[in-house]
Amino acid sequence: MNLPKNYLATLKQRKTPLKITSERQELIQRFVDKINLERVGTKWKPVTARQINVLISFLKTPDLYWLLGECERAPSFSKKFFGKLRDTKVKK
């Protein structure tokens, strides 16, 4: 995955600095950054930490580490992320 040349500059220009106070928030921010990195130049809007937090609210912190590892090994981080979340839904 190649970073756009101005990606780090755009992260530094955030309106409000990140206030990461827990391990879970740090993991969520890593998910957000990697998903948004793949969305640069596409029709998809960037995701927010709140959106990701709502999607993975049922997972415990050790499970987030597992999910992050699975997604990083996949060719497409976001496809694997959303695919794994779809697989975990309860089937009726």
Chain segment 76-91, per-residue pLDDT in tens: 999 999 999 887 665 5
Structural domain contains residue 1: no
pLDDT-based confidence at 41, cuts 50/70/90? confident
Number of domains within the chain:
1
Structural domain contains residue 74: yes
Structural domain contains residue 65: yes
Structural domain contains residue 6: no
Structural domain contains residue 3: no
Structural domain contains residue 72: yes
Contact in structure between 1 and 37 (CB atoms under 8 Å) = yes
Structural domain contains residue 11: no
89's tokens: 């839904």
Domain that holds residue 32: 18-87
Chain segment 49-78, per-residue pLDDT in tens: 999 999 999 889 999 999 999 999 999 999
pLDDT value of position 66: 93
Structural domain contains residue 30: yes
Helix (H) or strand (E) holding 10: helix 7-12
